[in-house]
Chain A
Amino acid sequence: MKIDWQKIEIKEMAALISEKLRGEGVDSILVGGACVSIYTKNKYQSFDLDFVTHAAIKEVTILLAELGFQRESSRHFIRRDCPFFIEFVAPPAAVGNEPLKGEKKLKTKFGTIVLMTPTDSVKDRLAAYYHWNDQQALEQAIMVAESQKINFHEVKRWSEKEGHIGKYQQFIKRLHNKT
């Protein structure tokens, strides 16, 4: 299949990377802003694809080189004609103090993406809002919550554990005002 790297969409890109790694026995999971893009159908557009894998970065480097991606710095990969930037975030895959609660699989024409669940994606964005007061991350959490089915009971439980129930209530208030 011929790939137009300049016009490729984030979902296709994530699938290509996931499939390439999986094909060589390397498990990975997509986390971060790319999940927001996918879950909101690009209402929020991320150009970063953050993956978590327990494989050695050297192994990943060899596999991504076969797709034309060069290691830019310790954990970042780029391809000159592609707008996306790939990062392999240090494991474990976690939101705050807890490991991710499962994973979601999405089938695309380029293969299957393994990514964090919509509920974990909301928690992931809220973590940035809770700890750094990042308003963009709050907006992204709201976008995912509007677009996907979320387990709010779980998000509330996690928020309490993170010590940010007040900010969780702000998130719920903002969400209700929008819908």
Chain B
Amino acid sequence: MLEGIFGNIIVEKILFTLYVYGEGYPLGMAKTFEEPVNRFQQQLKRLENAGIIVSRLIGRVRVYTFNPRYPFLEELKALTAKAFEFLPEKEKDAYYKKRTRPRRAGKPL
């Protein structure tokens, strides 16, 4: 849906992930979408260079979020939200409804 604008399907997946979950990391996204991790790393780096997203290291994992200081963030989020509405339910269920609430360490999944 947004691929036409951003020229890349991976960017669409990144934007939807950050819109839904608030944050994401390359390996997690790669596993979710069953795509090579380097494709996500490449596009995350590109978006970070453009000031659209920012990252921070948590342990050894680089976690990405939207950049709250990006001047067009409100508009970008509105566009992402609109596009997300049009996403088929099947796709939403498969990729964008993962458990996000805490789970105590040691409990079986």
A90: chain B residues within 8 A (beta carbon): 49-51
Choose from B49, B51, B74 the contact partner of A97 (Cβ within 8 Å): B74
B73: chain A residues within 8 A (beta carbon): 97
Measured CB to CB, the closest approach of chain A to B34, in angstroms, equals 28
B50: chain A residues within 8 A (beta carbon): 90
Check if B39 is an interface residue, CB within 8 A of chain A: no
| Interface residues on chain B, size class | under 10
The A interface, classified by DSSP as helix, strand, loop or mixed, is mixed
* Complexed CA–CA distance, A2 and B51 (Å): 36
Closest A residue to B75 by beta carbon equals A97
Check if B45 is an interface residue, CB within 8 A of chain A: yes
Q: Quick check: A75 and B74 within 8 Å, CB to CB?
A: no
Check if A98 is an interface residue, CB within 8 A of chain B: yes
Known: A89-B51, A90-B50, A90-B51. A97 touches B45 (CB 8 A): no
B49: chain A residues within 8 A (beta carbon): 74-75, 90
Check if A96 is an interface residue, CB within 8 A of chain B: yes
Check if B71 is an interface residue, CB within 8 A of chain A: yes
Q: Quick check: A94 and B45 within 8 Å, CB to CB?
A: no
Measured CB to CB, the closest approach of chain A to B67, in angstroms, equals 9
**For window 31-74 of chain A, which residues contact chain B by CB distance below 8 Å?**
74
**15 A-B pairs with C-beta separation under 8 A:** A74-B45, A74-B49, A89-B51, A92-B71, A94-B69, A96-B69, A96-B71, A97-B71, A97-B73, A98-B71, A99-B71, A127-B69, A128-B69, A131-B68, A132-B68
